[in-house]
Amino acid sequence: MSDTALIDGLASGFADETLQAQAAFRRILDAMARPGRIQRLEQPARAPEGLSPAAASVLAALADGDTPVHVAATPALRGFVAGRLGAPLAGEDAASFVVVAGAALLPLSRFAAGSDAMPDQSATVIVEVTALGSGPRLALRGPGIREVEHLAVEGLPAGFVGSWAAQRALFPRGVDLVLCCGDRLAALPRSLRIE
């Protein structure tokens, strides 16, 4: 199958590029400003096989020709990123956006963490989890949270909280996470303390 046929055959992206991209962008910003609060996308992007509508929406709203992306090496995902979004593919240590399954999230240190002088050069890791709103609860504290926010999430690996604490010790370096499941997402900015 040619790359053109693969791209043309994808059921992916926003039906209304402008309105849906703006709505998704607002939800992503809300998620980052209110860590741990689950946001539902009313009109998520159509996703290729192997990607949730929420994860496809994050990529479609944020990735472009200047933002390297790392996804699993399947033709559908490569076609979505390179063909539909026009974003260059990159290794997970050099990508601005990385898509991983929750079980494969660790170690966090393998993703671009920026530097003290340029913390903005870090990755946003889009994590496909099995459930948002049910499962083990994380207690979140930090900017954007009055006292504590609880987020129930299934599909994060054992050792996640310890790895997050080790990363947080490097602040302002580190990665930001966007947890995705179906048409819902929640953000964990690197400034958070997670218990």
DSSP, collapsed to helix, strand or coil, labels residue 190 as coil
- Spell out the residues 6+ positions from residue 88 whose beta carbon is closer than 8 angstroms to its own: 65, 67, 68, 69, 82
Asked if omega into 48 is within 30° of 0 (cis), the reply is no
Say which CATH number the domain at 154 has: 3.40.50.11310
- Radius of gyration over every alpha carbon of the chain, rounded to an integer in angstroms: 16
Query: Which is it for the CA torsion 81, 101, 123, 178, positive or negative?
Result: positive
Cα dist from 12 to 43, 85, 106, whole Å:
12, 10, 28
Q: What is the model's pLDDT at position 12? A: 39
Q: How many domains does the chain have?
A: 1
Q: Does 6 score more than 70 pLDDT?
A: no
Mean pLDDT (the chain, rounded) = 92
pLDDT per position as a tens digit, 142-185: 999 999 999 999 999 999 999 999 999 999 999 999 999 999 99
Residue 144 φ then ψ, to 5°: 90, 0
- Spell out the residues 6+ positions from residue 166 whose beta carbon is closer than 8 angstroms to its own: 108, 109
The pTM for the full model equals: 0.92
| Residue 34 belongs to domain spanning | 3-194
DSSP, collapsed to helix, strand or coil, labels residue 188 as strand
